[in-house]
Amino acid sequence: MILEPNARKTFFFFTCRLFSSTLKDRYGFVAPSALFTENRNPRSVEIDRNKKKKKGKEPYRPPSSLDRTGKKPIKSDLPFDFRFSYTESNPNTKPIGLREPKYSPFGPGRVDRPWTGVCAPAVDPVIRSVEADGADEAEKNMEVWQSKRKRILGDPLTPAERSFLIEHCQKHRTKRQVNLGRDGLTHNMLNDIHNNWKHAEAVRVKCLGVPTIDMKNVCDQLEEKTGGLIIHRHGGQIILYRGRNYNPKKRPVIPLMLWKPHEPIYPRLIKTVIEGLTVEETKEMRKKGLAVPALTKLAKNGYYASLVPMVRDAFLTDELLCIDCKGLPKSDYKKIGVKLRDLVPCILVTFEKEQIVIWRGKDCSVKSEEKSFSLVPELDENNIENELTDDDQSSDTESVRTDSELVD
């Protein structure tokens, strides 16, 4: 049964009267008109619902390092190019490609230096290529940095002061230490060293892994990039001194890298045919090199400073050498092979079966033997003759003295 609108109103009117009359007769109560939906205002219903719902707090949003709204880019006065690793990258070798777009690892708009895919140069490469003053400006900035470093270091340390700082940085005295691993001296490590210099005049740096093959490069880069001075080195342990006039409040601005950039693509290390040999000769050499007994076995994250002298000495007698690298990551023993190629020098033959096979080369000059750190020093014929004559003269003088003593 469907009622018309007018009939609905009359029906609800009589029901209200009937309901209120029964309540009034039994309990003396009249029902309010607000209980009936027809008489309620729809706006009041919405207001009641809004009152019941409590206004919740907005969720907490932590500040993002990528949000640079209203902030200027960080400007650093350091005169060198910003790289991910200063010891494991050579600015002279240019890559042949990139593995990713040129996204700056410092974050978008955080640093006033453009990212080239390999480094963030101190001088804009466009200005350096167009204007001749770009190179002069870089040299001037480096000279200013060196003079500032000398001023901060101040007077040289006395032996007593040096021994006091060395003793204070030993393991049994302090736990402060900066670890230098397979990535070498990274950009963010500079900030860690300056943070340690806030609380102590010297900091201990522990070096392990691939960078220890060339410890001279590690020491040079540490002094150049941080502005400190190495006062002690024992094996892979380095103690870096900040200087007499160092002020932590005036430390250089070092923007942090937010992620590790992908390494660019470099030319192949192992060529299909070794230069100066045929295809068959290279195949035979690779088979022969893998069959040669290993010169040494490298431990993972070890100290490899004695590897280059060992290889140089071994090349005096052997033409092919094999170094066992089982257990090492592939990237590690490839980096070791590159360092051996540049420091010994030698020719890389293969990296198969976790072995580094290197060849002395056809034109092995005497210079490589002179550079070897052999324990027995090599003497020329002239030097031997001179030494012999000196020995003869000394023996003659000794005999004369003995004769004169006998006469007396």
Residue 394, token pair as written in the block:
């000394």
End-to-end CA distance of the chain: 159
pLDDT of residue 41: 56
* Strands of 202-207's sheet in order across: 178-180, 202-207, 237-241, 229-234
Question: What is the predicted pLDDT for the residue at 50?
Answer: 57
The residue that leads in pLDDT, 353 or 404, is 353
Half-sphere exposure for 177 (CA within 13 Å, toward CB): 16
Q: What are φ and ψ of residue 327, in 5° steps?
A: 95, -15
Provide the angle, in degrees to the nearest 10, between the axes of the packed helices 187-197 and 215-226: 60
For the cut 90, the answer to whether the pLDDT of residue 134 exceeds it is: no
Cis peptide before 248 (omega within 30 of 0): no
The residue ranking higher by pLDDT, 284 or 138, is 284
CATH C-level class of 279-370: alpha beta
Distance, in Å, from the CA atom of 391 to the CA atom of 397, rounded to the nearest integer, reads 10
Burial of 311 (0-12, 13-18, 19+ CB in 10 A): buried
The structure's pTM equals 0.72
Contact 244, 161 (CB under 8 A): no
* Mean of pLDDT values over 150-163: 95
**DSSP secondary structure code for residue 273 in this structure:** S
pLDDT computed for residue 4 by the predictor: 54
pLDDT score for 402: 36
- Count of Cβ atoms closer than 10 Å to residue 82 Cβ: 22
pLDDT at 394: 43
| Domain boundaries, given as residue ranges, for the chain | 5-46, 73-266, 279-370, 382-408
Write down the pLDDT at residue 407.
Answer: 33
Lowest mean pLDDT among 132-136, 244-248, 283-287: 132-136
Q: How many CA atoms lie within 13 A of 131 on its CB side?
A: 11
Burial of 89 (0-12, 13-18, 19+ CB in 10 A): middle
Give the mean pLDDT of the chain: 80
Instruction: Please state which CATH number belongs to domain 73-266.
Output: 3.30.110.60
279-370 has the same fold as 73-266: yes
pLDDT of residue 30: 61
Whose CA is closest to 231, among 277, 280, 163? 163
Q: What is the pLDDT of residue 136?
A: 76
- Across 15-37, average pLDDT: 58
Q: With H, G, I as helix, E, B as strand and everything else as coil, classify residue 403.
A: helix
CA atoms of 347 and 274, how far apart (whole Å) = 8
Q: What percent of the chain has pLDDT over 90?
A: 60
Calculate mean pLDDT across residues 183-206: 95
Residues 6+ apart with CB under 8 A from 330: 351
CA gap 119, 113 in Å, rounded: 9
> Would the CA dihedral through 12, 14, 19, 21 be positive or negative?
positive
pLDDT of 135 > 80? The answer is no
Mean pLDDT for 249-269 is 93
Residue 257 pLDDT class (50, 70, 90 cuts): very high
